[in-house]
Amino acid sequence: VFLYLIFFKAEKKGVSSTIVGFIFGCFALFNFLTSLIMGKYLVQIGAKFMFIAGMFVSGCVTILFGFLHRAPDGPIFIGLCFLVRAMDAIGFAAAATASFSILINAFPQNVATVVGTLEVFTGLGLVLGPPIGGFLYQSFGYEVPFIALGSVMLCMVPLNMIILPNYNSVPKKDSFLKLIVLPKVAILCLNIFGLSSCIAFLDPTMSLFVLEKFKLPVGYVGLVFLALALPYALSSPLLGFLSDKKPSLRKWLLIVGAFLTTLCYFFLGPAPILHIESQLWLFILMMVLNGFALSMIGIPIYPEAINSAYENGFEEGLNLLGLVSGLFGALWALGIRGGEPTCGGDVVFTLINAAPQSSPTLNLPEP
């Protein structure tokens, strides 16, 4: 939503394309730094408090997103965009770091299954977000989707305060540097970076590509996203269960997943060297395979990193889980910075600048 707000209202609000890039980079920068800080001091802050505080901040700034367009043009609007975007990154980093640590600490023998189950709901969010947001936008206006989603998140705060137990642990002297110098962990960090870059590249480009290339109605663009989200959501718990039962298969899941992802991106366009005409059925097929391949990469990463840490003398507990979650959260943020504003954003600006100003599909912000 923020993507469309900035891209399609930038000129009206006096925001240049350079400033837009900095605003998007602001999220990744704060997410990167906050993930490292939260992961390092998870035990001292408290996992439950960190998660609840992150949810509260995210709910508040989500509501504020809906009112940004009311801000005065120029520097005030730009400053508020930076502020809200940065606070969103901080809230997200806190909630994500704490949630992974809490769940993995609660189910230490089924790490991959837990991660796979979490990714089901990530996929559901990708599936249900566009149609629900589109309905609210069309029925009630631009602000209501933000208010509705933010209110739901705020309602979860007291519920989690009651349900979640307190997890107490003793701080250890382990550090990110000691963790990342492990060869296996370093390779897994590269996998996280590549995974988030691949997903982030599609965020700003896919909808505009489908609209321009295949001339689909705006209402059908959300259905194209299902081709990526559904295979990802449905395959994640199965791959997680398989990864826990057969740990030896994890490296092959990573290898095959990386190969399939590379193949899918060659055929999405498709690449000019293939000399193949772009067709809707081929695009959707590659999206389906890509969703499955991304799940193959993402699910084995956490259990492999934790096992590698145990093998190299790290002690079990929230301290290690915070380090792993914080490190991977930071690498995820770096991947988003590389994939979305740097590569994907350039494509979006090219498409927008090349599009006729009278185009009804490109001049209306989508929720």
In the prediction, which pLDDT does 202 show? Answer: 77
Selection from 198, 164, 174 nearest residue 95 by Cα: 164
**pLDDT greater than 70 at residue 354:** no
In the prediction, which pLDDT does 280 show? Answer: 86
Domains assigned to the chain: 1-354 (1.20.1250.20)
**pLDDT greater than 60 at residue 11:** no
**pLDDT greater than 80 at residue 360:** no
Mean pLDDT within 212-225: 73
Q: What ranges in 246-344 are assigned the alpha helix state H? A: 250-268, 280-298, 301-311, 318-337
Residue 349: band (very low, low, confident or very high) from pLDDT cuts 50, 70, 90: very low
**pLDDT greater than 50 at residue 89:** yes
Q: Which is higher by pLDDT, 184 or 360?
A: 184
In the prediction, which pLDDT does 359 show? Answer: 37
In the prediction, which pLDDT does 296 show? Answer: 92
* CB atoms near residue 15 (< 10 Å): 21
Sign of CA dihedral 252, 254, 255, 259: positive
For the record, the structure tokens of 26 come out as 């602001």
pLDDT more than 70, % of the chain: 85
* DSSP assignments along 71-85, one per residue: SPTTHHHHHHHHHHH
Round to the nearest angstrom and report the end-to-end CA distance of the chain: 5
Q: Which is higher by pLDDT, 140 or 1?
A: 140
Distance CA(290)–CA(198), nearest Å, equals 10
Could you read off the pLDDT of 254-290 as tens digits, one per residue? 999 999 999 998 898 888 888 888 888 888 899 999 9
Contact 339, 22 (CB under 8 A): no
Contact 233, 122 (CB under 8 A): yes
Could you read off the pLDDT of 124-181 as tens digits, one per residue? 777 777 677 777 877 887 788 888 989 999 999 999 999 888 877 777 777 788 888 8
The contacts of residue 273 (CB under 8 Å, 6+ apart) are none
Mean pLDDT within 326-330: 89
Distance CA(333)–CA(274), nearest Å, equals 32
Selection from 146, 169, 145 nearest residue 50 by Cα: 169
**pLDDT greater than 60 at residue 348:** no
**pLDDT greater than 60 at residue 97:** yes
For the record, the structure tokens of 331 come out as 């690498």
Mean pLDDT within 5-11: 55
The contacts of residue 232 (CB under 8 Å, 6+ apart) are 119, 122, 123, 126, 291, 292, 294, 295
pLDDT more than 90, % of the chain: 21
Contact 335, 188 (CB under 8 A): no
Question: Phi/psi class of residue 219: alpha, beta or left (left: φ > 0; alpha: ψ in -120 to 50)?
Answer: alpha
DSSP 8-state secondary structure symbol assigned to residue 316: P
**pLDDT greater than 60 at residue 203:** yes
Host H or E run for residue 190 = helix 183-214
**pLDDT greater than 60 at residue 1:** no
Sign of CA dihedral 85, 2, 334, 79: negative
The contacts of residue 359 (CB under 8 Å, 6+ apart) are none
Mean pLDDT within 325-342: 77
In the prediction, which pLDDT does 9 show? Answer: 56
The contacts of residue 64 (CB under 8 Å, 6+ apart) are 84, 146, 150
Distance CA(329)–CA(91), nearest Å, equals 12
Q: What is the mean pLDDT of the chain?
A: 81
Selection from 31, 111, 9, 115 nearest residue 333 by Cα: 31
| Phi, psi for residue 85 in degrees, rounded to 5 | -65, -40
Distance CA(205)–CA(73), nearest Å, equals 27
- Of the ranges 174-178, 344-348, 360-364, which is most confident? 174-178
Mean pLDDT within 81-110: 89
**pLDDT greater than 50 at residue 364:** no
